[in-house]
């Protein structure tokens, strides 16, 4: 006889398998379902109508909002009626989950239904921007300040890395923080690479990136060193770690300091997706 936990695990397995058979471009359905949502209350299982939608309530922003993602969608299934049903259920579930709000990115799957989404109380919040730098040739690397050193992350620096990461984006709409257990899991399994700029045992800046895709997942610096050129130091380190490679990253339009930094260093916007938010 199945225990409640094994039954729940089996149900998630079934959802993951269904989403794998009906994939959404660039969506990590397995991570959405297993690690970034809290379980059935956050998962809108509309497989009978052709969709699975997830509120990623284990990845909230500094403003208390959680993103909404389609994890799987049967081709041609997203009708006006299904979109309306999903949006209504998103609103109801988000209240029960105790969120301050939910953010929904207008991807191609949602775009034809934007008006009904806005009629349900969603409004434009910010742009989600992809950026690309084909030739990172912004000049010679800056000299590191005295006593600072770049190093690969090690277990004793994880706590300070997480502190710096949260402090760098505190209160910024559109930057989501997976709960600590999930962040530690990702670091432990070696998903991507992390370099940290340290003053002794203190992390002042960090770079998390994917060596295979030359994608910069996060560029962070301690607010205590704001205005001292640490953003440029991190970009220099990215270029050193990925020599001769074109670089890509993602940034939200609300992060004006980072957006301006990237533009000054040759990054251009290649995609701009509106994100709508709804307070709960």
pLDDT digits 0-9 by tens, 100-111: 999 999 999 999
Q: Cβ(60)–Cβ(68) under 8 Å? A: no
pLDDT digits 0-9 by tens, 28-81: 999 999 999 999 999 999 999 999 999 999 999 988 999 999 999 999 999 999
Q: Is the pLDDT of residue 125 over 80?
A: yes
What domains sit in the chain, N to C, each tagged with a CATH number? 4-121 (3.40.630), 132-272 (3.40.630.30)
Within 8 A by CB and 6+ apart from 178, the residues are: 35, 36, 58, 59, 186
pLDDT digits 0-9 by tens, 234-278: 999 999 999 999 999 999 999 999 999 999 999 999 999 999 999
CA 10 from centroid of its chain's CA atoms: 27
Within 8 A by CB and 6+ apart from 60, the residues are: 66, 99, 176, 177
Interatomic CA distance for residues 173 and 252, integer angstroms: 8
Nearest to 122 by CA among 169, 78, 170, 86: 86
pLDDT digits 0-9 by tens, 207-232: 999 999 999 999 999 999 988 999 99
Q: Give the Cβ contact number of residue 10 at 10 Å.
A: 11
Interatomic CA distance for residues 77 and 217, integer angstroms: 32
Q: How high is the pLDDT of residue 5?
A: 65
Interatomic CA distance for residues 130 and 144, integer angstroms: 29
| Residues of the chain above pLDDT 90, percent | 89
Q: Say which residue, 186 or 2, is predicted with more confidence.
A: 186
């Amino acid at each position: 006889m199945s225990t409640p936990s094994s039954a729940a695990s089996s149900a998630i397995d079934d959802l993951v398998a269904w989403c794998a058979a009906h994939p959404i471009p660039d969506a990590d359905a397995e991570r959405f379902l297993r690690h970034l949502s809290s379980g059935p209350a956050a998962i809108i299982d509309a497989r009978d109508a052709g969709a699975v939608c997830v509120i990623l309530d284990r990845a909230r922003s500094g403003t208390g909002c959680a993103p909404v993602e389609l994890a799987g969608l049967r081709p041609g299934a997203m009708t006006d009626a299904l979109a309306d049903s999903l949006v209504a259920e998103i609103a109801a579930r988000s209240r029960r989950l105790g969120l301050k709000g939910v953010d929904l990115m207008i991807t191609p799957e949602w775009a034809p239904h934007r008006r009904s989404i806005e009629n349900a109380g969603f409004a434009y919040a910010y742009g989600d921007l992809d950026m690309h730098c084909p030739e990172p040739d912004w000049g010679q690397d800056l000299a590191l300040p005295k006593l600072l050193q770049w190093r690969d992350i090690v277990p004793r620096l994880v706590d300070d890395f997480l502190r710096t990461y949260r402090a760098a984006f505190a209160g910024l709409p559109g930057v989501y923080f997976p709960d600590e257990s999930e962040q530690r899991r990702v670091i432990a399994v070696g998903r991507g690479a992390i370099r940290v700029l340290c003053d002794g045992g203190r992390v002042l800046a960090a770079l998390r990136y994917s060596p295979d895709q030359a994608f910069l997942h996060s560029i962070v610096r301690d607010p205590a060193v704001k205005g001292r050129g640490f953003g440029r130091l991190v970009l220099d380190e990215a270029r050193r770690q990925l020599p001769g490679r074109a670089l890509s990253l993602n940034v939200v339009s609300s992060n004006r300091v980072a957006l301006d930094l990237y533009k000054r260093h040759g990054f251009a916007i290649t995609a701009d997706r509106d994100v709508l938010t709804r307070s709960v």
